[in-house]
Structure 1
Amino acid sequence: MKRILVVVIVLFTAIITMAYLYFSRLNTERENNDNDLHAAVNNSAVILSFQNDKSILDILKSQPLFSEIIGEENYNQMVSLKNHLLNVPAINSIIDQQGIYISLVPAENRKIDLLYTTQINQEATITQLLAALKSSKALLQEEKAITRITLTDSSVFYFGVKDNLLLLSSSDKPIRDVIAAKFEKNNEFVEYIKLNSRLSKTSLAELYINFAKLPVLLKSVIPGKLTGELSILNNQNSFASLVYNYSKDKVLLTGTTKANDANNYYQLFAKLAPQKITITNILPINTANYSVFTIDNYANWKPLLDKWLLTQKTDEAIENTTEKINQKYHLDLAQVFPKYFKDQIITFQLSTTERLGAINLSNGDKTDQLLLELSTEYNEEIRLFREETLLYAYFGEPFKKFKRPYYTIIDNYLVFANNASTIQSFLNSYKNNRLLINDKGYSYTINLLPNTACISFFVDLPHSTDIFRKNSFSTYYKHMISENGLKNYSSFTYQLNGDNGKFQTNMLINKNQQIITDSLAINIDSLIIAP
């Protein structure tokens, strides 16, 4: 009996010991796996991730769009890095099958640096990595904890290590920043990526976006503050995790977007049922961009809006204004917009930079009659609101800049702008059927995505050329109009569908269909780090 007891104790101890060692190793591996993520998100709002696996990257080799989107200079850097350094067998074997993160990091002189982050395999050591680097034909020069690498084609990169991480960039600052950084144990963005990533399971590549840091990155592209349609990115505390879907003629990513701020306006739509978008049918042919919001049941949505107005500290002013208007004009505003609004609101900007807004109505004639006392006549078709903030009071943030606009009601749509000439321009386009919906390229694009959404953002790139020229630094404008850049691209779409507090997301960057994409194909397998 004693012998049996001893054997049981020994076995039990062995099991406990093995379990401890196993889970200790798991925890160590998990910590190591997190290190590359922490490094990748440090000072970066946008991160691209893929696995260093030839079988995965081979699938991408006919993708013709990669170099055009990231820019020829950045693409050439990546090719040079692979061909002259990372393709060295001794180096590649140390990082084979590891995840690779490419982070966009804001830099000085209106530039954006690329930071490459990966881990070395468990069987390898930093010493082996350094030895492999020295055995290559690259010229190495030590510079205060990092190494300056001059490749055989004269390209210059900087190399650094932190724990088990390999860091590479064409600039030394992103690497020094990562080495000096103390990683937070509970970084919200890292935890979000870990929870949503499918990189090692089903996806070829993934894109992660931290919208809170995006304005800092965009300062390298756009001078001054984010204004106009881009102002929605200010104080936008949201994360996105998007999976790349293979295509030869477009970039399509799908995944989730999560608004972290409970007071975010978009949260008002996070639990709504998506609606079919039809209000875009009224847009003029020269529309540069638009933002659509759908509301399936206004009566249920209005209390959410009221709570949001409370967080913006505009609720009391709106309530007082509404009461004064009701008394002054002997109206009940609750019987106007809440009663006759249908289900969609939109703001849009024309290529001329003019901005407009619109809502669809269940009964345009009745709404027109009710608004007569609240407005003055400009001409037979256009009127001007007498009072301010009416549209903001009933629909919120998108209409904040339309304080006392001119408006017209036509075919059950109320369309408004801050200038009468803008409304007249809209009417001319609408009556003469010069509409965006008649553009074949636009029709093709919108048919690539579901026609239902809670929120949809769209940018027509050709119509936005002049706007971008006036609001971006010359380097990025030149990339937009370059044949080797974005000239042959038609549009950008970001579509959100409510899903119990988060958003199912589609992001589409589409190319002009008349372009023969095969002639622009790039050899993306030149980026593959293969043994």
Structure 2
Amino acid sequence: MKRFFRYLLIVIVLGAIGFWLFIRYAGGKQKKALSVIPSDAVLIVETENLTQAWQQLREGKIWNYLTQNAYFKQLNEDMELFNTYIGNNAIASQVLKNRSLIMSLHMTSANDYDFLYVADLKKMSLLNQLNLSKIADQVSGYNAKQRKYNGKKILELADPEDPGFIIYLSFSDNLLLATFSASLMEKAIDQKANVNEENPHWTQHADFTSVTERLRSRELFKLYINYRRLNDFSLAFLSEESEVFRILSESLTYSALDADLQDEIIALEGYTGADSVGGYLKALSEVEPGRISAWKIASEQTAAYLSMSFDNFDDFYKKLIGVYEKGNPEELADSKSKIGKLERLLGVNFQETFFNHFDNEIVMLKLRPLKNGDYEDISLLIKMKDIDAARAGLDKIMKRIKRRIMVVKFEPEIYKNHTIYCLEMPGFFKIFFGKMFEELDKPYFTYIENFVVFSNSKPDLKLLIDDYTEGNTLAHNPDFTDFKDNFANKANLSLFVRTPQIYQNLYYHSKPEDRKDITENKEFILSFEHIGFQLISDNQGFKTKLLGKHNPDAEKADKLQVIENEAFNDLFQKELESDSFALKLDQLPLEKDTLYTLKNPNGTLKIEGNIKNGKPQGLWRYYYPSGNLKAALNYTDGILEGTAYFYHDKAGKTLKAEAKYQNGTLHGNYFEFYKNGTQKTRFAYQNGKPEGFAQFFYPDGRKKIEGEYKKGEKHGKWIFFDRQGYKIGKERWRNGKKKK
């Protein structure tokens, strides 16, 4: 963080030299600030009025929160010092106040970057004739020296306490240039000499001006993104190349965005250009946007949601083929050859059997890792026009794989009324869609609503099924839906990142030397809890929106959510309330009085109990395939009555749950227990719904959560405790809805 603090010191130096700039020069040639920005800038931030921009920034809630961090606190103090200096120095005020400023970010090596600052002093022209050594006399605390580079004077101000810290200053007509990188200053001086047809000036570059000229608003900040440099920039932070950044770099040109700083939202809106030979995104820019809907079935544990949507998949696929014919004909030919060989081997036409059923959205999901080591897990959701036809097509493909290749090792598994299959065809998605989908090698898959859901992780697929079945989806997460409502329902590309959920992946994929900083600043990273990016085609490229939602309590809220998930997700209560274990009368023999028994496939006893007058009567016992007792239930005339006991699958009859029934309905005290015998939860049912005080516990018996139910819904205050027993947070609920 110290490195960033130094960037702002340059502003103080600008004030120190203001007197010389003002009294000596006026009038003359005007140069645009962008003209000295080297063409390899990754990001450019521009403000037309530095004073007003700082005022808007410092008055916002987001900035006030960030100043709790040591770096931002120091930054704020220095800016306030600068403000005071300007206010007390009439000459400096006239020179520097309300001036425009550009800050550009450049890679200075494969693993490092730096900033160039350009202040437009407007009427302060002919600055190149200024004797910079005289300015040095006005800057105390620095060792100053002057040198020339390509005919331009560069003033170097070195900190005697830190000789490696050097501020470089130079002038170009009405522009003052400053940086902490000697090579970057030299590159800026060389920029004019290096301008040519292959390396045009920013304001002469057609791809750049095509997006900047479309901006119409007058926000204080503007952000420009150079996508061609984005992939290289990402490698300064990531331990390996990201396929997403690679695709963005190859498919997009520039974004020009107006920035609006609100109390809880940083909003950037504008336009983005598509590269003429880009892949997916170029094809998306040429088709109508489609409705995004997979978020309705996506798990609440979704960390990143990347959606490609289109009005018609066939149109998109034809455009994609056309883009590859123009830009990557060899890759396209190789793909077609592999597809042809595979079709001949299996005797199927993939277009007719599979792709003709695609509807309007393809989504890549990244879930919060279930455990360490799950950082490469990924899921793919494809919306289908007719899910039954898609199912029939995939069934046909799998039968052909089994018949022709004969390597099938995975038998379909029934899990919570969903069948999990495995597409045991290596590289299937990579052949059709390229490297972006290479992680989906021999994926597991199932069907949820109108989507085929693929995943390279069976636990992730089961989590998606769990959360969909239990209603723990993004559609039921008010924080997510409120944020999503800031975006259009129809788009071509939509990316939603939930920072608390993605944090473990961020840490894992970062460089080892950066992980200490990431850990120390976790609270501030997580405070930007939602990040969204959306592209909508408009015949000239894309309308673009980039939003960051700030919540200072995001880390705390996530901790509470994790504790709540741990407490609720593996409760036996869900199975209990579903009555899935209960006897179905139509499954029983018709005899009026008999001892009924049913065996497991392995021959062990599964169920035993008495039937009287054609109905279960008295004690009934259920057993695991292992032979261990599973449950002991009491029936009166075929209806559950009294206390029911449920057991873990282990020797010794370790109690799992105890419930009370009244006339077939849950009514009375309810208890659950861990395998070690300690209590997991306790509360009461009233007429089949949780009612009153409830407690949940850690495996060591310490309290985890306590709260109240009202008619089956959370109500009132819910308190959370850590594993040491300390209270760490609370939530307030009203009739099942969390109060903000």
Residues 10-409 of structure 1: matches in 2 within 5 Å?
Answer: 29=30, 32-33=31-32, 36-52=33-49, 54-55=51-52, 57-65=54-62, 73=71, 76=74, 80=78, 83-84=81-82, 87=86, 89-95=90-96, 97-107=98-108, 111-126=112-127, 130=132, 134-135=137-138, 139=142, 141-145=144-148, 146-149=154-157, 158-164=167-173, 165-181=175-191, 182-185=193-196, 187=200, 189-190=202-203, 191=205, 192-197=207-212, 202-223=218-239, 225-227=240-242, 229-233=244-248, 235-236=250-251, 238-310=253-325, 311-312=327-328, 313-352=330-369, 353=375, 354-375=377-398, 378-380=411-413, 381-392=419-430, 398-409=436-447
Per the TM alignment, residue 466 of structure 1 is displaced from its structure 2 partner at its CA by: 1.1
* Counterpart-to-counterpart distance in 2, 1:404 and 1:80: 56
Residue equivalent to 2:465: 427
- Contact 2:48/2:221 (<8 A) preserved: yes
Alignment CA distance shift 1:66-1:99 (3 Å): same
Per the TM alignment, residue 228 of structure 1 is displaced from its structure 2 partner at its CA by: 5.2
Per the TM alignment, residue 281 of structure 1 is displaced from its structure 2 partner at its CA by: 1.8
* Counterpart-to-counterpart distance in 1, 2:498 and 2:144: 47
Does residue 502 in structure 1 map to residue 541 in structure 2?
yes
* Counterpart-to-counterpart distance in 2, 1:477 and 1:99: 36
Structure 1 window deviating more from structure 2 (428-437 vs 496-505): it is: 428-437
Residue equivalent to 2:575: none
Aligned to 2:262, what secondary structure does the other structure show?
Answer: coil
* Counterpart-to-counterpart distance in 1, 2:543 and 2:488: 12
Alignment CA distance shift 1:154-1:332 (3 Å): closer
Alignment CA distance shift 1:400-1:154 (3 Å): closer
Per the TM alignment, residue 157 of structure 1 is displaced from its structure 2 partner at its CA by: 5.5
Structure 1 window deviating more from structure 2 (179-188 vs 346-355): it is: 179-188
Q: Which amino acid aligns with 2:41?
A: S
Alignment CA distance shift 1:515-1:506 (3 Å): same
Per the TM alignment, residue 416 of structure 1 is displaced from its structure 2 partner at its CA by: 1.0
Alignment CA distance shift 1:481-1:416 (3 Å): farther
Q: Which amino acid aligns with 1:413?
A: F
Q: Which amino acid aligns with 1:117?
A: V
Residues 437-448 of structure 1: matches in 2 within 5 Å?
Answer: 437-448=475-486
- Contact 2:99/2:121 (<8 A) preserved: yes
Alignment CA distance shift 1:200-1:114 (3 Å): farther
Please provide the CA RMSD for this pair: 3.7
Alignment deviations for residues 276-310 of structure 1 (CA, whole Å, 9 cap, x no partner) = 21012222222221210012112322321222344
Alignment CA distance shift 1:305-1:341 (3 Å): same
* Counterpart-to-counterpart distance in 2, 1:109 and 1:400: 26
Does residue 482 in structure 1 map to residue 498 in structure 2?
no
Unaligned stretches of 5+ residues in structure 2: 1-27, 149-153, 370-374, 399-407, 414-418, 556-740
Q: Which amino acid aligns with 1:147?
A: L
Alignment deviations for residues 474-500 of structure 1 (CA, whole Å, 9 cap, x no partner) = 546635762773231202111000011
TM-score by length of 1: 0.79
Alignment CA distance shift 1:197-1:129 (3 Å): farther
Per the TM alignment, residue 410 of structure 1 is displaced from its structure 2 partner at its CA by: 2.4
Between the aligned residues of both structures, percent identity stands at: 16
Structure 1 window deviating more from structure 2 (428-437 vs 321-330): it is: 321-330
Aligned to 1:65, what secondary structure does the other structure show?
Answer: helix
Unaligned stretches of 5+ residues in structure 1: 1-26, 517-531
- Contact 1:139/1:149 (<8 A) preserved: yes
- Contact 2:231/2:245 (<8 A) preserved: no
* Counterpart-to-counterpart distance in 2, 1:108 and 1:76: 28
Higher relative contact order (CA 8 A, sep 6+): 1
Aligned to 1:220, what secondary structure does the other structure show?
Answer: coil
Alignment deviations for residues 491-514 of structure 1 (CA, whole Å, 9 cap, x no partner) = 211100001141110001111275
Aligned to 1:402, what secondary structure does the other structure show?
Answer: coil
Count of equivalent residues: 486
Alignment CA distance shift 1:367-1:120 (3 Å): same
- Contact 2:252/2:275 (<8 A) preserved: yes
- Contact 2:306/2:364 (<8 A) preserved: yes
Residue equivalent to 2:578: none
Aligned to 2:362, what secondary structure does the other structure show?
Answer: strand
